[in-house]
Amino acid sequence: MKLRSYMFIGFFLSLLLTFLPFSSNFINAATPAAVAPVSAASFTQGVKKTVLDNGLTVLTKEVHTAPVVSVQVWYKVGSRNEVKGENGISHQLEHLMFKGTTARPVQFGRLFSALGSQFNAFTSYDETAYFGTVQRDRLEALLTLEADRMENSLIGAEQLTSEKRVVISELQGYENSPGYRLSREVMRDAFPNRAYGLPVGGTKADVEKFTVEQVRNYYQTYYSPENATLVITGDFATEPVLKVVKETYGKLAKRSQQGNVRGNVAPSSPVTPTTKKAPIVLKQPGSAALLQAVYPLPDIKHPDVPAIDVMDAILTGGRSSRLYQALVESGLASSVSGGAAELIEPGWYEINATAAPGQELSKIAQVLQESLGKLQQQPVTTEELNRAKTQLQASYILGNQDITSQATQLGYNQTIAGDYRFIEKYLAAIAKVTPAQVQKVAKTYLNPAKQTIGFFEPTQPDGKPGTSSAGSGRTVENFSPGKPIDPAELAKYLPPATSATDSAKQSLPEEFTLNNGLRVLLLRDRSLPTINLSGQINAGTEFDGNQKAGLANLTAANLMNGTQTKNALTLAKTLEDLGADLSFSASREGVNVSGEGLSKNLPILIQTLADVLENATFPADQLELSRQRALTGLKVQLDDPRGLGRQVFQQAIYPENHPFHSFPTFETLKAISRDDLLGFYQTHYRPDNTTIAIVGDFDPVKVKTLLNQSFGKWQATGKPPVLKISSVPLPQTSTRLNKIIPGKAEAVTYIGYNGISRKDPRYYAALILNQILGGDTLSSRLGTEVRDRLGLTYGIYSDFAAGINPGPFLIQMQTAPGDTQKAIASTLALLKQLREQGVTEAEFNTAKRSITNSYPVDLANPSNVSSIILDNAILGLSRSEIRDFPRRIQAVTMAQMQQAIEDLIKPENLVIVTAGPGETVPKGG
């Protein structure tokens, strides 16, 4: 169940470009109560719709929960509007919209970053959207910049040439994914004569042929006020802002001639085949076997849409769903997911499954068809129906806790459904869906004769990357980087901010410790009827050791598989009946706990958490299923240049006896026993090893009572295990490693060495240093040089992975095979330049402002706040750190910055790891 995630299908121009699933004693869960309609007033209440004389639709919604605002511009144009020979032109134009305007001939990412904006853009089937969220005093500045690029974007030969290379790099990155390649073939076969059948990002062949005139004409046709919706949500006063909007956008002229706009009239219904088509079979290098099935659907305004989405929730909505039970719990598949693409034109329903090791795709397809047939033949139960409705309704409330998401909901509904109030009718209709309607849509749309199904059958030995080579650290070329961008030069293009925002008003959490040693942080937030829970248990993979690598992950993955009173399905239903979620995942330094739900369901969330932490039973049958999923996941990781590259990089930095060196292998995963899990659980899952942070709408007194009642019997004896982690020196010389993965189109490179911990006194200086170097893909030195000027990569960023213990300093980039050496050489040249010349005062001050100005945006999302509060506590920082962080950044001096560069930037001691196609390896190297 993707819950209308198709609004985000497309290809994202992201800030960091970091990339990326769902016993014998059976006790019946309580049957979910009948579902009352969720009031959509919270989504649309207070929204004011204004249409300017030039046709621009403006939606404004005041939300005064935090001193931030979100500005989004949605253009009603996407891959649906493309014709043969120009597949990907909408996406190419999205990239060019960041290259500057006639009045501001600079990279717009630098302008947004200087404002402290958290910005992004995406292209999808029906729309292209641009959005930024900033402190409220920068609202007018953001409006000015978006209006400028609506009419005056630079689309010239120089901009198109460099950005074509970036787009091709992006497309080659997608080619690394077997799932992407399978989906492309299935969609082309399902929609042979429609633009929806083409990949949103385009094809390399078409992108290479785009001309300046072609892209400019496309811009002139579609980026016109009457084809756009401007959405503003957040902490502002409507009337003064509308005055600014009319002054800023009102002068923009209509440009498009509606008669020339392609794709605005829905096509005739596609011809339905009368016999079932044979499966598409791809036999290519890869790891896991994949299945994708697609069925045609009507458009978003069709009255069947609510019943289709309820049907999807019944089929794929969580562990209790029909397809999860039929495919994953049976051991046939490692994962299954589904989603309905309900768009301007008739869309599709899609089901995806990853085969478990040794399982045949034909068998999965057979069981899938049996499950769909049963849904068509028998009405669903009241329990299933109510659970699905609750999940759908809760997902909209939980998914709109921050103003950026609220603006996105409004923009999507206005652009795709033609009415920002669509959500009201939709949720009201969800509440009224009947079993008969679900059965009817299953019969109508899940017809085997209408199905297009594809199988991906990997041809390479699973998880066995090809040969590797080690180099001396020399690269093929010497590279002279351009001069760093002068922020003073940038400043003249920045619209002014209106006033300063006081960020010192952030409430601090209350902290206390239960008698058993469990730490709790509570922060009441009554702005929404939601709960966000974050937690950590000191039971991370650092305790694995090389012989039991994967033990911490398997233990965490099995927590929800049964307790002394509830089996796995009962636990799942307990939460899914309420639309709530609770999950566990192991990282290096702990097991992460994540929970969310409506505030009225906090008792169930806490009681379930306490039950699994104290009473997990680790059933043997569930352990075997989770082991198979882990083995599949390992195959996928080793077939992914990002996953394999990061592992090789980490193991090159940390010696074999270091906790950060160990990674699961097929042998260690197969050797882990149930007794190993029980022993690990009993040793490390202790109240005095656990910290919980809760943010949301609750009564603190009642929550304390609830916590004492739920966790009071959980006791620990003796002292918790502690690891002594030795310090890791830098490599004596540069090390170069290449890992070849057959069948890949794009390489991923990691560059770095061991770094610092979070409590290192140089940490705040390191953050500013990182912001300048590679903290932002479009505005940093790395982004400016390697991505923007040279066009060698779609994504490049740097990071100090600072935890309780020092983690790596790293630079990550993705490159076309032929560009890898140039990109590495230019990166090394930039590091040497930084080491030898330092940073300018203007760069230093701009980076500090960018970090502190964007911080309030983080605090505007309750989910982020719970994570920040938890992390600060785990890292041993003060409760006031959430409030003091901007001040600590501002307090860093230029001398401290220069010292951090001297201490932390070591171009001669780098570990460089590239994973991907073999062509990246230097000949003779």
Whole-angstrom Cα Rg for the chain: 27
Q: Average pLDDT in the 151-180 region?
A: 94
Question: What pLDDT score does 276 carry?
Answer: 79
Question: What pLDDT score does 256 carry?
Answer: 61
Q: Average pLDDT in the 323-334 region?
A: 98
pLDDT at 21 over 60: no
Instruction: Give the distance, in angstroms, between the CA of residue 785 and the centroid of all CA atoms in the same chain.
Output: 26
Q: What is the pLDDT of residues 506-549, one digit of tens each?
A: 899 999 999 999 999 999 999 899 999 999 999 999 999 889 99
Question: What pLDDT score does 779 carry?
Answer: 87
**3-class secondary structure, 514:** coil
pLDDT at 5 over 50: no
Question: What pLDDT score does 417 carry?
Answer: 97
Instruction: In whole angstroms, give the CA distance from residue 803 to residue 871.
Output: 9
Tokens of 842: 């203007």
The model's confidence at residue 6, banded by pLDDT at 50, 70 and 90, is: very low
Instruction: In whole angstroms, give the CA distance from residue 247 to residue 140.
Output: 11
pLDDT at 174 over 70: yes
pLDDT at 31 over 50: no
Instruction: In whole angstroms, give the CA distance from residue 57 to residue 539.
Output: 52
In sequence order, the 6+-apart residues with CB closer than 8 A to the CB of 633 are 334
Instruction: In whole angstroms, give the CA distance from residue 777 to residue 805.
Output: 26
- Hey, how many other C-beta atoms are within 10 angstroms of the C-beta on 34? 11
Distances (CA, A) of 66 to 133, 252, 813, 848, 855: 12, 31, 35, 21, 12
Instruction: In whole angstroms, give the CA distance from residue 356 to residue 237.
Output: 55
Tokens of 434: 């009947």
Kind of pairing between the strands at 290-296 and 348-355 = antiparallel
What SS3 string covers 684-748?
Answer: HCCHHHEEEEEEECCCHHHHHHHHHHHHCCCCCCCCCCCCCCCCCCCCCCCEEEEEECCCCCCEE
DSSP state of 261: -
Region for 25 from its dihedrals, namely left if φ exceeds 0, alpha if ψ lies in -120 to 50, beta otherwise: beta
Instruction: In whole angstroms, give the CA distance from residue 692 to residue 514.
Output: 11
Q: Average pLDDT in the 8-36 region?
A: 36
Kind of pairing between the strands at 911-916 and 735-740 = parallel
Q: What is the pLDDT of residues 569-601, one digit of tens each?
A: 999 999 999 999 999 999 999 999 999 999 999
Question: What pLDDT score does 487 carry?
Answer: 76
Instruction: In whole angstroms, give the CA distance from residue 719 to residue 390.
Output: 43
Question: What pLDDT score does 271 carry?
Answer: 47
CB 813 within 8 A of CB 173: no
Question: What pLDDT score does 503 carry?
Answer: 54
Question: In whole numbers, what is the pLDDT of the chain averaged over residues?
Answer: 90
Question: What pLDDT score does 26 carry?
Answer: 28
What SS3 string covers 294-341?
Answer: EEECCCCCCCCHHHHHHHHHHHHCCCCCHHHHHHHCCCCEEEEEEEEE
**Least confident span in 164-178, 261-275, 313-327, 647-661:** 261-275
pLDDT at 467 over 70: no
- Give the DSSP H or E segment for 95: helix 89-96
- Hey, how many other C-beta atoms are within 10 angstroms of the C-beta on 247? 13
Q: What is the pLDDT of residues 400-430, one digit of tens each?
A: 999 999 999 999 999 999 999 999 999 999 9
The model's confidence at residue 607, banded by pLDDT at 50, 70 and 90, is: very high
pLDDT at 118 over 50: yes
Question: What pLDDT score does 502 carry?
Answer: 57
The model's confidence at residue 15, banded by pLDDT at 50, 70 and 90, is: very low
Q: What is the pLDDT of residues 57-93, one digit of tens each?
A: 999 999 999 999 999 999 999 999 999 899 999 999 9
pLDDT at 246 over 60: yes
pLDDT at 7 over 70: no
Question: What pLDDT score does 556 carry?
Answer: 98
Tokens of 304: 């069947």
Q: What is the pLDDT of residues 614-644, one digit of tens each?
A: 999 999 999 999 999 999 999 999 999 999 9
Find residue 293's DSSP bridge partners: 351, 453
The model's confidence at residue 500, banded by pLDDT at 50, 70 and 90, is: low
Instruction: In whole angstroms, give the CA distance from residue 802 to residue 756.
Output: 6
**Least confident span in 4-18, 718-732, 799-813:** 4-18
Report the amino acid identity of residue 191: F
Instruction: In whole angstroms, give the CA distance from residue 412 to residue 408.
Output: 6
Question: What pLDDT score does 497 carry?
Answer: 78
**Which carries the bigger pLDDT value, residue 923 or residue 186?**
186
Instruction: In whole angstroms, give the CA distance from residue 353 to residue 337.
Output: 7
pLDDT at 332 over 90: yes
The model's confidence at residue 482, banded by pLDDT at 50, 70 and 90, is: low
Distances (CA, A) of 612 to 287, 571, 702: 33, 9, 22
pLDDT at 475 over 70: no
Percent of the chain with pLDDT over 70: 90
Instruction: In whole angstroms, give the CA distance from residue 801 to residue 474.
Output: 26
**3-class secondary structure, 546:** coil
Measured in residues, the chain has a length of 925
User: At how many degrees (to 10) do helices 841-859 and 763-773 cross?
Assistant: 100
The model's confidence at residue 483, banded by pLDDT at 50, 70 and 90, is: confident
Instruction: In whole angstroms, give the CA distance from residue 921 to residue 925.
Output: 7
DSSP state of 391: H
CB 260 within 8 A of CB 83: no
Question: What pLDDT score does 419 carry?
Answer: 97
The model's confidence at residue 124, banded by pLDDT at 50, 70 and 90, is: very high
